Structure 1
Amino acid sequence: MNAYVLFAADLVAISVLTLGFYLPRHRRRDLVVAFLGVNVGVLAVAGVLAQVEVGAGLGLGLFGVLSIIRLRSTELEQHEVAYYFAALALGLLGGLGDSSILLSVGLMTLIVTVIAIADAPGFLAGYREQTVVVDRAITDEAALVAHLEGMLGARVHHAAVSRLDLVNDTTTVHVRFDAAASRSTAAAATLENGAVR
């Protein structure tokens, strides 16, 4: 009977995670199908393994094998990897967590809650990253960061040059920056200018 309660808890948790959070935020139907399919598949296999008295090591091995197969088959963004591992973990908790229902349900709730908060649109909303092609070949790192901050109107936290083309006079750089810091600085400057007038 405990197993059926955990199966139901897993189905509720994965439905909330994929249909309640992932789909409205990211609108990728193909990954919703993948998350649901992987979760239910892991749940079914883990449920069978739990009945045959195998160790938790086998379940974790299954977790690893499925992860490698899925992650090698297509390129996923980092937030999609987090959803994918959450779907796997929920399936394992639902299938192998028969000894303590409260602990398993609590851990399922924790996983869904953490993913929901960490992937919320307002959470660290100002932090961005992108690849920028600068129309100058800049070899000095400090000058490059200053140029990027001027271009982006943001505070640059990290700039990694991926290509420096001295012939075509371009620099390709991967940048992590804080757009919120620039908005607050611009707002303060606007208020200050208004007060001076």
Structure 2
Amino acid sequence: MSSAALVTADLVAITLLVFGLYFPRYRRRDMVVAILGLNVGVMAVATALATAEVSAGLGLGLFGVLSIIRLRSSELSQDEIAYYFTALAIGLLGGVKVSPAWVTPVLMGAILVILFVADHPRLFTNHRHQTITLDTAYPDESVAVAHLESLLGAEVTRLRVKKLDLVHDTTVVDVCFKLRRDQGSGDIPSGHPEFADTSLGL
């Protein structure tokens, strides 16, 4: 596949990723700029590395440096990290010639399809994940679970105590829970930032 065809495939894939998947679901303009800039930059550098006499280790090192810089500069949810690394992967695929030629667009398409399915709003729509601050110290996790189930009107599927403050009488928990069926309709689907790693004082 020619360099022009690779660039075209990359631009088509990243356009679908950003404007077809990410932005309609998350509505973060700053991440649109970051994902597009990252993808095009990685593709350009990967193309340059592919035409130069450099080792594969240098390319992998660049991949790691870009990841560390971006992830340390801003806190991202797990969902956004997936989109971020997808943009990296598509950019690398768009900058390296692979034989046979059909492998690159097939891999790009496979990545997009997998992300579309895995982050679909209808997948596990009743499941939620939150970081919650309770206004009582709960040394006994079973008591905390019972209180949360009553408070949220849901089934707690996983609970991890992040901080137990006996002095100020508070408990910070990381909790996964499943809403009842009658609560799931009309709510924001799981996987969206409004329900990912948020703090709630109770």
Instruction: Give the TM-score range, shorter chain.
Output: 0.7 to 0.9
TM-score (norm 2): 0.83
CA–CA distance in 2 between the matches of 1:33 and 1:170?
A: 39
Change (3 A) 1:102 1:164: same
Q: Give the structure, 1 or 2, with the largest relative contact order (CA under 8 Å, sep 6 or more).
A: 2
Equivalent residue for 1:86? Answer: 86
Equivalent residue for 2:66? Answer: 66
Which residue identity is paired with 1:75?
A: E
CA–CA distance in 2 between the matches of 1:73 and 1:100?
A: 38
CA–CA distance in 2 between the matches of 1:53 and 1:113?
A: 34
Any conservation in 2 of the 1:10–1:90 contact (CA below 8 Å)?
A: yes
Equivalent residue for 1:30? Answer: 30
Equivalent residue for 2:171? Answer: 171
CA–CA distance in 1 between the matches of 2:42 and 2:6?
A: 13
User: Which of the two has greater helix per residue?
Assistant: 1
State the 1:82 CA deviation: 0.7
Q: Secondary structure at the match of 1:136?
A: coil
Any conservation in 1 of the 2:7–2:95 contact (CA below 8 Å)?
A: yes
Structure 1 residue runs of 5 or longer lacking an equivalent are 186-197
TM-score (norm 1): 0.85
Equivalent residue for 1:190? Answer: none
Q: Secondary structure at the match of 2:131?
A: strand
Which residue identity is paired with 2:79?
A: H
Equivalent residue for 2:181? Answer: 183
Query: Where in structure 1 do 4 or more consecutive aligned residues deviate above 4 Å?
Result: none
Structure 2 residue runs of 5 or longer lacking an equivalent are 184-202
Q: Which has the larger radius of gyration?
A: 1
Give the alignment of 1:99-138 within 5 angstroms.
99-138=99-138
Q: Aligned pairs, how many?
A: 184
Q: Secondary structure at the match of 2:68?
A: helix
CA–CA distance in 1 between the matches of 2:80 and 2:106?
A: 23
Any conservation in 2 of the 1:59–1:92 contact (CA below 8 Å)?
A: no
CA–CA distance in 1 between the matches of 2:15 and 2:60?
A: 23
State the 1:25 CA deviation: 0.8
